[in-house]
Structure 1
Amino acid sequence: MSAGVAPQFLDRTTRKRVLVWVLLIVDAVTLLIATLGATWIRFSTLYAGVGIENISADVSYWQVAFVVWALWLGMLYREGLYDLERLTWGAGEFSRVLRALGIGVVGFILLTYVLKTPGLSRAWTLLAFAIAVVTVSGGRLAVRTWLRRQRLAGRMHRRTLVVGDNAEGERIVHRLLDSPEQGLTPVGCLAAARADSLALDYCSEIVPKLGYAREIARVVREHEIDTVIIAGSAFEHEVISRIISELRDIDVSTHVSSGLFEVLTSRVLVRDIAGVPLMTVAPVSFSAANLRTKRVFDLTLATLGVVLGLPVWLLLIAAIKIDSRGPVFYRQTRVGKDGAEFGMFKFRSMYRDADERLKELRAQNEATGPLFKMKNDPRVTKVGKWMRKFSIDEFPQLLNVIRGEMSLVGPRPPLPHETEQYTDHHWRRMEVPPGMTGLWQVSGRSSLTFDEMIRLDLYYIENWSVGFDLSLLMRTVPAVIFARGAY
């Protein structure tokens, strides 16, 4: 949300109705495109016939397409993909879409056995499924992008109340204010019932204190609160239970913070053991099998990227040679996994004397920590400035991925002199192979501070999975296209 833009709040009922209808319409259209598109691709017509025993009327594939369309919509609903309280975005949503469509296909195949349709094309079924996965996921990505832009523009925000004015409550407020794209705008906080026992009142200097936790029902109604977030460490368990009980009959979303800010939600499970609700944090799996899967994934996509991108590479090579004298590629020593050094490839984006001129520009460094960043770096060529804006100069690192020195996703490899200032805490980011993209690249890129970059890299390491890698690769595309946070 731009500075100075006041957030606009929709009432809870209207907000939910708008989002559910947008999702439903997008899914209906994308599923229709998938089923009818598969029919056209497979048969070059929408009116190809399919024989069904015991049914004398002619049945066309476009009619079958509508049956599958309705079945898939039902499966998406069954998976809770229109329940905004259960809906997750990103990799979690993709897996649920995939499961819903997969179950729909299985149900359709069983239906064909019941109706005895031996003539139904299996190729059509598989083609419709493949297209549906792409179109539905793409459509929902478009909805997320639209919603994110709405929120960054100050629209469609939710009045959020933070309950608990301790350090955790303060951190929650800061995280929400720093993440306007989430749409949860804190409008106030409630102090703990024993506020006089706290040495500090953390939240009231950031957002207004609207009362005490025992007054939560009144505050929620008077201030038309949409979402309540309870700082778990601010209260005893029976107090939290009482707060939740008081909100039971009020139409409001209620969340309890676990305090596990650095753990991915997909790793956190709530289980009932002997009547006790326990929060289980699944371990990070760095097994040899998973790392081999990551390596095969990297090698396949990197090789494909080099082959398909070869015509673009040739154009870039010509542009670099015309723009300035010097080599096309620039090989820079970087630090990789466990501190091993390697030569990282880039398209040259600077003049040949860039390294010598660095000492003159140190005083104009705009980055924090050991990094050097400068928005209008005079060492960058005209073509280089354009390549850097869209991260095109990074393409040759696909060769490093193929060589096994880098991964497609991971912490960015630092320069050797940068690691001289690393603490043991900072060195943890080098426990995995460095990547071409990572969590901080899709969370602000050059606009992040060094400490924020370290925090995001460690978050990635703590929560690594192949699915997480795939999610970050998908999020990298719009971040690069729109040059968010790039110098």
Structure 2
Amino acid sequence: MSLLEIGDGAVRLGGQSVGRRWWWLAPRLRGEGTRARRAWRASYVRRLVGLDAVAALLAGLVGWLVPEDGPLMSTVASSSLVAVLPVVWVGAMLVARTYEERFLWVGPEEFRRVSSAAALLLATVGTVSWAFQLEVARGFVVVALPLAAVLTLAARFLLRLRLHAQRAHGRHLQTAVLVGHRNGVAALSAQMEREARHGYRVIGCCLPPAVDDRDVFEGLPVLGSLDEVADVVRRYEVDTVAVLPSPELDGAEMRKLGWELEDTEAELLLAPAVTEVAGPRVHVRPVAGLPLMHVERPEFTGVRRIAKDVVDRTAAGLGVLLLLPVLATLALLVKVSSRGPVFYRHERIGRDGRPFRVLKFRSMVVDADKVQLDLLERNEGNSVQFKIRRDPRVTRIGAVMRRYSLDELPQLLNVLGGSMSLVGPRPHVTREVEQYASDMRRRLLVKPGITGLWQVSGRSDLSWDDAVRLDVRYVENWSLAFDFMILWKTMGAVLRGSGAY
């Protein structure tokens, strides 16, 4: 029997039915191939160009309407600027390569390039106006160009969200084959499944021969060996080949594989294991005539850390002032709804392993810690953290606060005091810290946070291994831009309430 059989509405691998999931393995039977699956990209880019032009036009009209207190430009000149701005703006985005597909769909590079192009254009217009003494309306320069940047970023962000929503419903995906050893393939497959918004649908893998060789591994069809990757790509019209580190695929073999894939439509991706943690700190640099990977050191001290502390404490102070009515209302509700103090203070482990008292609104009955021993067998959390979806110790108002993370708001005072940060790994209790492996202890190099990657990625629904991976990724790759992104995503996670119990 052949490896793949399609008939009667089912897909079979080696005689074993694996359901409808693997229709991707027969693109020709559906009249689909790599070019057909990538056809949406051209319309996406055209839509980007149109949105950029509309954003520039709207910004130009707003700048034209801004009253001037200096010499006024003629109506013809100002109208010409409004008409020319969309062309100049799209040209600047083109020069900044913001329409190249490798910078689109995911990641911050697209937005960074748009911001850089806008700043460069603003500086150029200002310099040229000053050098040639041109009477360009200040309102146009100061208002129109920054507004065009804001509108462009917003439009591109919304368009990306729309694409991610479409991918969640199975549209605009590209097929991928994973190449490497079993452990690496299983880990990368799980990662791609978690990050479905990136648009990869793993249809199978190529593995080295083994004693227990099977047609299906970890739910993935084994389409061939490491020597048959190019044949597998041609047979199933694969869009992407992701290669993991393998001793069998050394430099010479990788070069040969690249040559073999040149006459196909497939993209070749290399997945070095270090990128799971190092991420943006990995750069390819020429060394001794060879392109070698350079891993930058993570920053735990210095100017950027000082800037993070200043931003944290300033934002926390403003947050306390703005949320004072909310804090007072919640405190009153906690006080009148159940016996006990308003605040709950509990010892947690912070930066460098130093203990501190975390502050929360009390969401449980008094002496809830003593009752926990009787509930250990009902634990629904991961292997280290104790969690119960319907914890009998939680009060009525406490359940509502936990649902929307309102019980965490007093931790703004911890941020003001310097024991916590707005964004970082969640603080654990001593019992949990004692179970840390060496990799998890990396999280003690930074201050714990009110929110973090854990909160925006599933919270209590995550396994301990996933929590470790996310915490270490943040510690190794933190930045203020990364913090702002997490804070933005926290609002959505709080409103959804997923994993909050």
State whether structure 2 residue 176 is matched by structure 1 residue 164. Answer: no
* Residue pair 2:439, 2:472 contacting (<8 A) in 1 also: no
Q: In 2, distance between residues paired with 1:387 and 1:24?
A: 44
Partner of 1:179: 195
Seq. identity, %: 36
Q: In 1, distance between residues paired with 2:405 and 2:80?
A: 46
Q: In 1, distance between residues paired with 2:62 and 2:402?
A: 38
- Secondary structure at 2:242 match in 1: strand
Matches within 5 A, 1:22-171: 22-40=47-65, 42-43=66-67, 50-51=72-73, 58-60=76-78, 63-87=80-104, 89-113=106-130, 116-118=133-135, 120-121=137-138, 124-171=140-187
Q: In 1, distance between residues paired with 2:333 and 2:119?
A: 46
* Residue pair 2:129, 2:136 contacting (<8 A) in 1 also: no
Question: Which moved further from structure 2: 389-398 or 378-387?
Answer: 378-387
> How many aligned residue pairs are there?
470
Q: Deviations over 1:355-392 (max 9, x none)?
A: 34323322211112331111111222333222222222
Q: In 2, distance between residues paired with 1:149 and 1:274?
A: 45
Seen in structure 2, the aligned counterparts of structure 1 residues 238 and 166 have a Cα distance that, compared at 3 Å, is farther
Question: Which moved further from structure 2: 210-219 or 180-189?
Answer: 210-219
* Residue pair 2:167, 2:197 contacting (<8 A) in 1 also: yes
Q: Which amino acid aligns with 2:40?
A: R
**Structure 2 gap ranges (5+):** 1-18, 25-31
Q: Deviations over 1:457-479 (max 9, x none)?
A: 11211223333323322332322
Of residues 28, 38, 41 in structure 2, which corresponds to 1:13? 38
- Secondary structure at 1:358 match in 2: helix
Matches within 5 A, 1:206-221: 206=218, 207-221=220-234
- Secondary structure at 2:412 match in 1: helix
Question: Which moved further from structure 2: 401-410 or 180-189?
Answer: 180-189
Q: Which amino acid aligns with 2:380?
A: E
Q: In 2, distance between residues paired with 1:322 and 1:39?
A: 57
Q: In 1, distance between residues paired with 2:339 and 2:418?
A: 31
**Structure 1 gap ranges (5+):** none
State whether structure 2 residue 466 is matched by structure 1 residue 452. Answer: yes
TM-score (norm 1): 0.86
Q: 1:133, CA displacement in angstroms?
A: 4.2
Partner of 2:10: none
Q: Which amino acid aligns with 1:58?
A: V
Q: Which amino acid aligns with 2:135?
A: P
* Residue pair 1:230, 1:256 contacting (<8 A) in 2 also: yes
Seen in structure 2, the aligned counterparts of structure 1 residues 161 and 388 have a Cα distance that, compared at 3 Å, is same
- Secondary structure at 1:369 match in 2: coil
Q: Which amino acid aligns with 2:154?
A: G
* Residue pair 2:178, 2:202 contacting (<8 A) in 1 also: yes
State whether structure 2 residue 317 is matched by structure 1 residue 299. Answer: no
Question: Which moved further from structure 2: 421-430 or 398-407?
Answer: 421-430
Seen in structure 2, the aligned counterparts of structure 1 residues 255 and 422 have a Cα distance that, compared at 3 Å, is closer
Seen in structure 2, the aligned counterparts of structure 1 residues 82 and 413 have a Cα distance that, compared at 3 Å, is same
Q: Which amino acid aligns with 1:51?
A: M
TM-score (norm 2): 0.84
Partner of 2:12: none
- Secondary structure at 1:232 match in 2: coil
Of residues 256, 260, 270 in structure 1, which corresponds to 2:270? 256
Matches within 5 A, 1:187-206: 187-191=203-207, 195-196=208-209, 204-206=216-218
Question: Which moved further from structure 2: 431-440 or 387-396?
Answer: 387-396
* Residue pair 1:166, 1:203 contacting (<8 A) in 2 also: no
Q: In 1, distance between residues paired with 2:365 and 2:63?
A: 51
* Residue pair 2:453, 2:474 contacting (<8 A) in 1 also: yes
- Secondary structure at 1:362 match in 2: helix
Q: Deviations over 1:114-139 (max 9, x none)?
A: 76433521x54233344344433333
Q: Which amino acid aligns with 1:19?
A: Y
* Residue pair 1:71, 1:104 contacting (<8 A) in 2 also: no
Of residues 402, 425, 432 in structure 1, which corresponds to 2:446? 432
Partner of 1:230: 243
State whether structure 2 residue 365 is matched by structure 1 residue 351. Answer: yes
Provide the aligned C-alpha RMSD in A.
3.0
Q: 1:199, CA displacement in angstroms?
A: 6.3
